[in-house]
Amino acid sequence: MKYAWRIGRVFGIDIKVDSSWIVIFFLFSFVLAGSYYPRSLPGQSRSLYWILGLATSLLLFASVLAHELAHSIVAIRNGEKVRSITLFILGGVAQISEEPKEPFEEFSMAVIGPLSSFVLAAVFFIVSILLRGVSAPLWAAASYLAVINVSLAVFNLLPGFPMDGGRVLRAIIWKLTGDLRKATRVASVTGQAFAFLLIFVGIFQVLRGNFGGLWLILIGWFLHNAAVRGYEQVVVKTMLEGLRAEDLMTTAFETVDAGLKVQKLVDDYILRKKERVFLVTEGAELRGIVCLEDVKETPRVKGRSTAVGDVMTPREKLESVPLGADGNSILNRLTAKDIHQIPVMDGERIAGIICRSDVLKALQLRSELGV
């Protein structure tokens, strides 16, 4: 999901559309307008089929959005932060700040999604009954949306991580064993097995001439990668437990004065000391941070007249953590904000700096030692 556009905000959550969503939106519209509606409503105009196809596709993805919003609302009530929901080629995903802290949170967050889809299916089913004999086009659209929401709910309830059913399975095993890592491993293996089954069925269908099996192969591939990645994330979380900012930070950091010229920074610091990141100070006070990327955005001809203080990220916009911050929260801050380093503060004093490479080195070392 490299390219995504923000289309709105609901309950304080950014709603985004990934570039891949455009492909699947028009593909669904094409299939509905070219196949489903001509069979359900024979003899109607092609323009009506396309209007119904586009409208149904929009309502379909609105249903997916409602499914993800249900997850997000429960997460917010559990004290989590939900930054965004992104619609993409295989559905939608909510970006939640942290994993659930206990089994019941996991269970409630997971089960609410399929329940919301079943509720939507019931609503569309009732609407289809009311519209039968009144408006054939609207009846056909409501009937299709009822079926597709049931399918969405049932598919998500399959016990393969990271689908909702897999998360329910993980919550149950987590509750019974008290071991999140073991529960995730079982749910992940189940998810991978289900993914391989989808891929096998998809290949079998393609060999028989049914190229709709390509979708099953794509979904299986996506689910397998997500299941593996989900387990790896829990392993990383386990390995970072007990580590604090003071364990991860580097104290041998370079500082530069805010009045230093950019060209001087390049010549005397970046090239000579081969460092990419520098804390900017004025006396003993932290003013900000300047990176190689900031320097590259400064026109070369202005390097001798532009001060570091003019191109740095200022203190008020700077992410920082205290000495006692735990390793998982630090990694979450680095990844959520897409930054490569974060200062460690001891009150108003700079105690050190943590780079992504420092976290990776700590993980690698603990992995080699079997910690």
Beta bridge partners of 96: 82
CB 94 within 8 A of CB 116: no
Cα–Cα distances (Å) from 220 to 163, 205, 233, 266, in that order, read 12, 14, 20, 49
CB 237 within 8 A of CB 335: no
What is the pTM (predicted TM-score) of this model? 0.71
Angstrom distance (rounded) from CA 219 to CA 150 = 18
Dihedral angle computed from the Cα positions of residues 94, 96, 99 and 102, in that order, rounded to the nearest 10 degrees: -90
Looking at residue 124, its pLDDT comes to 95
Cα–Cα distances (Å) from 79 to 13, 55, 82, 112, 232, in that order, read 14, 36, 10, 16, 24
Looking at residue 301, its pLDDT comes to 67
pLDDT tens, per residue, the chain with 371 residues: 457 788 888 888 888 888 878 888 888 889 888 888 899 889 888 999 999 999 999 999 899 889 989 988 888 888 878 888 888 766 777 777 677 778 888 898 889 999 999 999 999 999 999 988 888 999 999 999 999 999 889 988 888 777 888 889 989 999 999 888 888 888 888 888 888 998 998 898 888 887 777 878 888 888 888 888 877 777 777 777 778 888 888 877 778 887 888 888 888 888 887 777 788 877 667 788 888 777 887 777 676 778 888 888 887 777 788 888 888 778 877 776 667 778 888 777 778 888 877 788 877 777 776 66
For residue 41, the 8-state DSSP code is: S
